[in-house]
Amino acid sequence: MYGPTGLLGKEQKSEIVYLVEGEKDADRLAVLGLVATTTIGGANGLGKSAAGLRKALPGRRVVIVQDMDDAGDKYAAAALKVLKPVTAVVAVLKLPRLKHVPSHGEDVSDWLDKHGGTVDEFRTLAEAALAEQSEEQPKMPTDAKMPTESDRATKGTLVRGGHLSTVNLATVEPESVKWLWPGYIPLGKVTVLDGDPGLGKSLLTLDLAARVTTGRDMPNGKPGVFGAVVLLSAEDDLADTIRPRLDAAGAIVAKVTALEAVGDVDVETGEVHERPVYLPQDIPALHQAIEEHGAVLAVIDPLMAYLDGDVNAHRDQDVRRALRPLAQCAQETGAAIVVIRHLNKAPGGKAIYRGGGSIGIAVAARSALLVAEDPDDENKRVVARVKSNLAAPVPALRYQVTQRAEGVVCLEWLGVTEHTATSLLAVPTDSEERSATEECVDWLQDLLDGNGGWIAVKDAQREARTAGYSDKVLRSARTRLCGKPVKEGFGETGQWVWRLRPAPPESPKMPSIPKLPKDAHTENKGTLGGAGHLSNGYQPEWWQRFEELMAGGMPEREATAMAMAEARERQVPA
Confidence label for 540 from pLDDT (cuts 50, 70 and 90):
low
- 256 and 398 inside one domain: yes
Percent of the chain residues past pLDDT 90, beyond the cut: 32
Is the per-residue pLDDT at 391 higher than 80?
yes
Same domain for 548 and 492? no
Please tell me the distance from the alpha carbon of residue 397 to that of residue 513, in angstroms, as a whole number: 22
Give residue 553's identity as a one-letter amino acid code: G
The residue segments making up the domain with residue 265 are 179-418
Q: From residue 530, how far is each of 144, 496, 522, 524 by CA, in Å?
A: 62, 60, 7, 4
Q: Is the peptide bond before 517 cis (omega within 30 degrees of 0)?
A: no
CA distances (Å), origin 427, targets 186, 377, 444, 498, 507 = 29, 12, 16, 19, 25
Determine contact, residues 399/420, Cβ cutoff 8 Å: no
Helix and strand tally (H, E) in the chain?
Answer: 17, 20
pLDDT of residue 43: 52
Domain boundary among 442, 477, 499: 499
Q: Is the pLDDT assigned to residue 427 strictly greater than 80?
A: no
pLDDT bracket for residue 569 (50, 70, 90): low
In a domain, 514, yes or no: no
> Is the same domain home to 322 and 273?
yes
Residue 528 lies in a domain: no
At 362-377, the pLDDT tens digits run 888 999 999 999 988 8
Q: Please give the tally of structural domains in the chain.
A: 4
Whether 140 and 161 have beta carbons less than 8 Å apart is answered as: yes
| Dihedral, CA of residue 459, residue 463, residue 465 and residue 471, to nearest 10 | -60
Q: What is the DSSP secondary-structure string of 353-391? A: G-BSS-THHHHHSSEEEEEEEETTEEEEEEEEEEEESSS
Residue 400: how many CB atoms within 10 A of its CB?
14
CA separation for the pair 428, 348 (Å, rounded): 8
C-alpha–C-alpha distance, residues 225 and 236, integer Å: 25
Strand partners, 409: 403
Please identify, among 363, 386, 418, the residue that sits at the C-terminal boundary of a domain: 418
Same-domain status, 411 and 455: no
Average pLDDT over residues 81-92: 86
Same domain assignment for residues 213 and 346: yes
Positive or negative, the CA dihedral 229, 353, 477, 183 is negative
Q: Are strands 262-265 and 190-195 parallel, antiparallel or unpaired?
A: unpaired
**pLDDT value at 8 more than 60:** no
What's the mean pLDDT when you consider all of the chain?
80
Q: What is the pLDDT of residues 447-504, one digit of tens each?
A: 888 788 889 898 888 888 888 888 888 888 888 888 778 888 877 778 888 888 776 5
Kindly state whether residue 156 falls inside one of the protein's structural domains: no
Is 574 domain-assigned?
Answer: no
- Say if residues 321 and 188 touch (Cβ distance below 8 Å): no
Asked if 574 and 554 touch (Cβ cutoff 8 Å), the reply is no
pLDDT at 147 over 50: no
Whether 37 and 125 map to the same domain: the answer is: yes
One domain, residues 544 and 439: no
Q: Which 8-state DSSP code applies to residue 184?
A: T
Residue 527 falls within a domain, yes or no? no
The answer to whether residues 60 and 208 belong to one domain is no
Q: Do 378 and 436 lie in a common domain?
A: no
Average pLDDT over residues 568-572: 58
Q: Quick one: 125 and 208 in the same domain?
A: no
Name the DSSP letter for residue 239: I
Alpha helices in 228-373 (DSSP H): 243-248, 283-293, 316-333, 360-364
* Four-residue CA torsion sign, 367, 373, 376, 377: positive
Query: Does residue 459 sit within a domain?
Result: yes
By the 10 Å C-beta count (0-12 exposed, 13-18 middle, 19+ buried), 172 is classed as: exposed
Q: Are 297 and 281 in contact (CB under 8 A)?
A: no
Is the domain of 336 the same as that of 188?
Answer: yes
User: Do strands 367-374 and 262-265 pair parallel, antiparallel, or not at all (unpaired)?
Assistant: unpaired
Residue 295: predicted pLDDT: 96
Is residue 231 within 8 A of residue 396, CB to CB? The reply is no
Is position 507 within any domain?
no
Q: Are 243 and 534 in contact (CB under 8 A)?
A: no
Average pLDDT over residues 536-557: 68
Other CB atoms within 10 A of residue 574 CB: 20
Whether 352 is covered by a domain: the verdict is: yes
- For residue 83, the domain's CATH number is 3.40.1360.10
The pLDDT score that the predictor gives to residue 309 is 81
Question: pLDDT (tens digit, 9 = 90+) per residue, 237-264?
Answer: 999 999 999 999 999 999 999 999 998 8
The answer, yes or no, to whether residue 286 has pLDDT greater than 70, is: yes
CA 546/CA 540 separation, integer angstroms: 10
Read off the pLDDT of each residue in 29-47 and give the average, rounded to a whole number: 76
Asked whether residue 315 falls in the same domain as residue 457, the answer is no
Q: What is the pLDDT of residue 316?
A: 76
pTM: 0.55
Choose one of 397, 418, 439: the last residue of a domain.
Answer: 418
Contacts of 210 (CB under 8 A, 6+ apart): 216, 246, 249, 250, 251
Question: Mind listing the pLDDT tens digit for each residue in 307-357?
Answer: 988 888 877 778 888 889 999 999 999 999 999 999 877 666 677 878 887
